[in-house]
Chains A and B, each alone.
Chain A
Amino acid sequence: MRFSGLRILREGLTGNKGWQPHWRDAQPASQYDVVIIGGGGHGLSTAYYLAKNHGITNVAVLEKGYLGGGNVGRNTTIVRANYFLPGNSEFYSHSLKLWEGLEEDLNYNVMLSQRGQITLFHSDAQRDASIRRGNAIVNQGDEAELLSVAKLKKMVPYLDYEQARFPIHGGLISRRAGTARHDAVAWGFARGASARGVDLIQNCEVTGIDIDQGRVTGVQTTRGAIRAKKVAIVVAGRSSQVAAMAGMRLPIESHVLQAFVSEGLKPCIHHVISFGMGHFYISQSDKGGLVFGGDLDMYASYAARGNLPMVEHVMEAGMTLMPMIGKAKLLRSWGGIMDMSPDGSPIIDKTHVDGLYLNCGWCYGGFKAVPGSGYSMAHLVATDTHHEPAARFRLDRFRTGRGLMDEEGTGSQHNLH
């Protein structure tokens, strides 16, 4: 079933009776070439690109809950490529290019809205850092533009420019950045993978990883044993538990990050605005809700809900930045489990077990990476060689100290990002 304007017209005129499920709800077979543990954004895109780019279709995606029920359905939907360090910059640049062709590629409306993302700065030193970052982004082949206060005031007049603590000196805008419909991204990749023969298996929790003489041979699940030539771990916040099944202890600590949405309002915020000094960022969804978030609660947690002090802090930061939102009512808040790595950058790598691959450490930035991560992960699983844009996401960089990607410059240590 292909989506098109004509199809919508026809279905609309005939009572919308022709729509079908977007993917097959498959039952587990006894054996696959590749088993992907985790049916979130990254797992589904890995499956899709394995099938599309490498012709590997005897693949199962095992999801312990329902497809897209984890962080891909719990994020603030921001897509951007404004990274500075080699390793990160080319990867997110590649991912953004994939985003730009994604709807055509998937024949699925992921509602990518390149509304532009503005990162504010508040001092001369921060202006210098923004110029430096902007130049790095331009050098990697993407675009960035420095906005003066005058220009910024025309675009976003509602910010409190004269606030005492963080007066706004300008911003850096990435015009190709924006938002996408997060659930649709999961569904689109699921549909594309399923149509190419991938089995998407829900309510199937992996309970063990079978290894024979240093080589992976399959997995044990709540729905029976499944043999596999290759196994990919793509489970975000639960990475430590699944990797432990293969005897690994990961450089990952899982933390809770909260997000918030207000009641629906008329269009008022037309960009993604990042207020780094307040750990606050905001955009407006297509339904009109203000979608915003802040920093981690800053303690290890799997609760998928945070505590009130951070809620208060985020609201304060929002009021500091744009007092106009003060009368908007908060509709919902929720939390996701972030797989935090010591340097704040991800891991896409082989493991000490032949045929076992690891994708984790996305911290609080996994959503924008969904297409790029799957593309590079599929390349690694299919060819046993690193995909160039993700070649620096090595697991051993913490042990050796070589190739650390500490984007914030705070140090490569837990609890600093």
Chain B
Amino acid sequence: MRLDCPICGARDRREFTYVGDAVLLDRPAPDAPFEAWDDYLHNRDNPAGVTRDLWYHESGCSAWLVVTRNTLTHEVMETRLAAEVKEAGV
């Protein structure tokens, strides 16, 4: 599996660290209800198919990435900078 870093180009999977579901970008407000924090920390859609997750380009440019990929086939469909995704709000 290779990930296409928007800054460095296609790189070996070993350069990246998997952080978790991209739901981690949607951090609840500090005073959000208990359930919102439980959902954010623990509960996952865990799809068998297309998912979006966060990767960290640890041995490269240190960028945080949102990777859209298929958990059934390991196909990588899209890689974007997490900062851009967060700013765009999608």
Interface residues of chain A, those whose CB is within 8 Å of chain B, are 238, 240-241, 244, 249-254, 298-303, 307, 309, 342, 398-399, 413-415
Residues of B within 8 A of A398 (CB): 38, 41-42
- CB distance B14 to A250 under 8 Å? no
User: Closest residue to A339 on the B side, CB-wise?
Assistant: B46
Most chain-A CB neighbours within 10 Å: which of B14, B35, B46, B48?
Answer: B46
Which A residue's beta carbon lies closest to that of B73?
A303
Closest CB-CB distance, A241 to chain B, in whole Å? 6
Query: Are B39 and A300 closer than 8 Å at their CB atoms?
Result: no
CA gap between A298 and B20 in the complex, in Å: 9
Could you say which residues of chain B place their CB within 8 Å of the CB of A415? 18-20
Judging by beta carbons under 8 Å apart, are A300 and B41 in contact?
Answer: no
Q: Is the CB of B53 within 8 A of A399?
A: no
Contact with A along B1-16 (1 / 0, CB 8 A): 1000000000011100
Contact B43 A303 (CB under 8 A): no
B27 within 8 A of A: no
Residues of chain B within 8 A (CB-CB) of A298 are 18
Q: Is B29 an interface residue (CB 8 A)?
A: no
Task: Taking A251-B44, A398-B42 as given, write out 20 further A-B residue pairs in contact, using a Cβ cutoff of 8 Å, ordered by the A residue number.
Answer: A238-B48, A241-B46, A244-B45, A249-B43, A250-B46, A251-B42, A251-B43, A252-B44, A253-B20, A298-B18, A302-B48, A303-B74, A307-B74, A309-B12, A309-B14, A398-B41, A399-B42, A414-B44, A415-B18, A415-B20
Q: Within the complex, which residue of B18, B34, B46 is in contact with A299, where a contact is CB–CB below 8 Å?
A: B18
What distance in Å separates the Cβ of B24 from its nearest Cβ neighbour in chain A?
Answer: 9
CB of B38 within 8 A of CB of A303, answer no
Chain A minimum-CB-distance residue to B1:
A307
Q: Which residues of B contact A413 (CB under 8 A)?
A: 41
Contact between chains at B13 and A250 (CB < 8 Å) = no
**Nearest B residue (CB) for A303:** B74
B88 within 8 A of A: no
Known pairs A299-B53, A303-B74; A249 contacts B13 (CB<8 A): no
Residues of A near B72 (CB, < 8 A) are 302-303
